[in-house]
Chains A and B, each alone.
Chain A
Amino acid sequence: MLKISDLRVAVDGKTILNGLSLEIGTGEVHAIMGPNGSGKSTLANVIAGRDGYEVLGGTVEFKGKDLLDLDPEVRAHEGVFLAFQYPVEIPGVANIALLKEGLNAARRYRGEPELDALDFLKLVREKIKLVEMKEEFLYRSVNEGFSGGEKKRNEIFQMAMLEPSLSLLDETDSGLDIDALKIVAGGGNSLRAQDRSVILVTHYQRLLDYIVPDYVHVLAEGRIVQSGDKDLALKLEAEGYGWIEESAGAAA
């Protein structure tokens, strides 16, 4: 599904990712952990196509296509979804209006007919139940005045609507109460069941109790310095990153 090779990325002349390689298969769930500022969000943003990142080298292949060559909206149409660490507020734009535009743009891209208002609403009603979000949120401005948890829940709702083949959840579990956490996990698990892939960026073992990852990676020094199964996350939880940084430092 996704193949990242030797990716090197700089922001404002400062190298953040330095030779990162990662491969994600269909239907797999990968967790990426790592210290603050290690470049996890940078990686997610580069995959999604955000401006302001300078790709110095390496490749990102998605379903056999060179992802770095595509506009962000085309990546979205191809099935890349990013649940933002800090979802932005857009005053005056109704949540549901943005979603409808986005969904129909993707359908046009795939050569499918646009959903009319009725079918769209039907789909919305079905998906909003999954994330247990009140319908009033549909008509409020995108994320405006939403609580931290509500914003995250809204991201998961959008993910459920757009049914991406690759979801990047950037700390979607941070700041969530336990019920919301289960909903996020439910969203991730149902995608996995449909052979869709998920990348979970997280600091906590907690979420991984509900979505059990196939792989856990540690991002530090701009690279994946350690990979393992779910037990790696447990070890990180218990011991922190110190031991990894030491061994990575020694190796370098």
Chain B
Amino acid sequence: MNTSVKELGDLVGREYKEGFVTDIESDTLPPGLDESVVRFLSANKSEPQFVLDWRLDAFRRWQEMDQPDWAHVHYAPIDYQGISYYSAPKRDEDRPQSLDEVDPKLLETYDKLGIPLEEQKALAGVAVDAVFDSVSVATTFKDKLAKVGVIFCPLSEALINHPDLVRKYLGSVVPATDNFYAALNSAVFTEGSFVYIPKGVRCPMELSTYFRINALNTGQFERTLIVADEGSYVSYLEGCTAPMRDENQLHAAVVELVALKDAEIKYSTVQNWYPGDEEGRGGIYNFVTKRGACRGENAKISWTQVETGSAITWKYPSVLLEGNGSVGEFYSVALTNNCQQADTGTKMIHIGEDTSSTIISKGISAGRGQNAYRGLVKVLKGAKNARNYSQCDSLLMGDRCGAHTFPYVEVKNPTAKIEHEASTSKIGEDQLFYCRQRGLAEEDAVSMIVNGFCKEVFRELPMEFAVEAQKLLGISLEGAVG
């Protein structure tokens, strides 16, 4: 046990009790995790007591849990005591002072994606100058949202300003002890967002541009909670097509969605964390728990994800179809190249009557990439007339990669209608040649064929995002053939 951490934690804990707020601006906790670290994190954000209690409970349960080993991924054991659970934002003098100091490869990718210069600086972590005033942009959006009563703020702020609202829903979809990583997140989460859409309100914008700027704060243990009250609608975009600099290897985020009666939440993700080099060194481990609850009649939750980054992805955005007539959707493109591994899929749990779900999963493997789809469709006893349609397609490029499909179906009500289709194809030499014969360079041909393969998913993405995602796929596959 690292005594210095313990002492620091104790100290902070005591200070908190005595009502002090320490200036920890330049502090970084030394590696290690124990109760004092959890107390420190909570105190640091001046959280209400209930949050601290919740964190501590999660931490105690986490200590008794084992890291899951059922996923189709392989990696060296993670040393949870070797991680630092808090580091203050980098000071300007410690950041790159201009784009000249940034890895040229990264800049090349930004250029290919057509990312504006100022935004490139922000993404690369360059100390931004006064010209790029992200704060004022964000404020404009905030005003617009406030007018219709939409709350969109960091979770830490919501815990202080809207404690009752958050308390009602936090952990109600993903309980603190749901799984190993969710428990860890519940104990030590440091960043994240809270969204509340009031009754009958259609959120006046995609929560995207705003997020892109905010995404810079994306943390290692992020926690997002979105609540759509009755009859409301929101489309939320997470992530960014541009590869982001990040020094943390382990990411264990939790996302909870709650859609009440007649509400709809559309959650889109483009994930492009650093996948590691061609040998897989240094890539990010992305272990995420995402789940939504349709907690009322005719509620709808739709997950769309494009996963191209990370060394290891472990993620199953799921929907609990509680309300009668509620709808769950999952559209996914997961790409693995070089040494990347992905084990992703969804769970659709049919609880209410007349509930329906759709699963469209497209897995692309290139290089030595390993891609697994893991999906569960569960129809409970009371779920009369439940319907599910699943389609899982895999595309292989080359012969050193792998695709694996693990569909699980559990049906307890005989009126259920479940359809499952699956296909595995190799990117056809004949398709490539056809395109090249028509004049396309090999890489453009690959990109065109792969984008065609993913079309059903891309059309679920908001327009601007879809265009970026297509480019991204092309870039991620560069050099994958030939």
Contacts and interface: CB of A to CB of B under 8 A. Distances in A.
**A and B interact physically:** yes
Interface of A: 48-52, 71-73, 76-77, 81-82, 84, 87-88, 90-93, 97-99, 101-103, 105-106, 109, 141-142, 158, 162
Interface in B264-287: none
A76 B435 CA distance: 10
A84 B431 CA distance: 12
Contact of A102 (B428, B431, B439, B455): B439
Given A71-B442, A76-B439, A88-B428, 13 more contacts: A50-B433, A71-B441, A72-B436, A73-B440, A90-B431, A91-B453, A98-B435, A98-B438, A102-B439, A102-B440, A103-B439, A105-B439, A141-B452
B429 interface: yes
B332 to A, nearest CB: 15
Interface residues of B, number: 23
A71 B433 CA distance: 10
Interface of B: 428-431, 433-442, 444, 448-449, 451-456
Contact of A51 (B433, B438, B439, B452): B433
A162 B430 CA distance: 20
Q: Is the interface of B mostly helix, strand, loop or mixed?
A: helix
Contact of A92 (B429, B430, B444, B453): B453
Contact of A101 (B434, B448, B454): B448
Contacts of A99: 438
21 contacts: A49-B436, A49-B437, A51-B429, A71-B436, A72-B433, A73-B437, A76-B436, A81-B437, A82-B437, A84-B437, A91-B455, A92-B452, A92-B454, A92-B455, A98-B440, A98-B448, A101-B444, A102-B439, A103-B439, A141-B452, A162-B438
A76 to B, nearest CB: 4
B1 to A, nearest CB: 55
B434 A88 contact: yes
A77 B440 CA distance: 9
A71 B445 CA distance: 13
Contacts of A87: 434
A151 to B, nearest CB: 11
A200 B454 CA distance: 37
Contacts of B448: 90, 93, 97-98, 101
A60 to B, nearest CB: 16
Nearest to B444: A101
B438 A158 contact: yes
A142 B430 CA distance: 13
Nearest to B458: A92
B442 A73 contact: yes
Contacts of B441: 71, 73, 105
Contacts of A93: 448-449, 451-452
Contacts of A81: 437
A102 B429 contact: no
A118 B58 CA distance: 61
A87 B435 CA distance: 11
Contacts of A105: 439-441, 444
A221 to B, nearest CB: 27
B451 to A, nearest CB: 7
A48 B432 CA distance: 13
Contacts of A98: 435, 438, 440, 448
Contacts of A50: 433
A77 to B, nearest CB: 6
Contacts of A52: 429
With most chain B CB atoms within 10 A of its CB, the pick from A84, A92, A105, A142 is A92
A91 B451 CA distance: 10
A81 to B, nearest CB: 8
A142 B428 CA distance: 14
B436 A73 contact: yes
Contacts of B434: 84, 87-88, 90, 142
B82 to A, nearest CB: 44
A101 B440 contact: yes
B86 to A, nearest CB: 45
A221 B85 CA distance: 74
Contacts of B455: 91-92
B325 to A, nearest CB: 31
With most chain B CB atoms within 10 A of its CB, the pick from A98, A105, A109 is A98
B452 A73 contact: no
Nearest to A91: B452
A48 B442 CA distance: 14
Contacts of B451: 92-93
Contacts of A51: 429, 433
A90 B449 contact: yes
Contacts of B439: 73, 76-77, 101-103, 105-106, 109, 162
Contacts of B452: 90-93, 141
A48 B449 contact: no
Nearest to B455: A92
Given A51-B433, A88-B428, A102 B438 contact: yes
With most chain B CB atoms within 10 A of its CB, the pick from A49, A93, A158 is A93
With most chain A CB atoms within 10 A of its CB, the pick from B434, B442, B453, B454 is B434
A92 B453 CA distance: 6
A101 B470 CA distance: 15
Nearest to A87: B434
A183 to B, nearest CB: 20
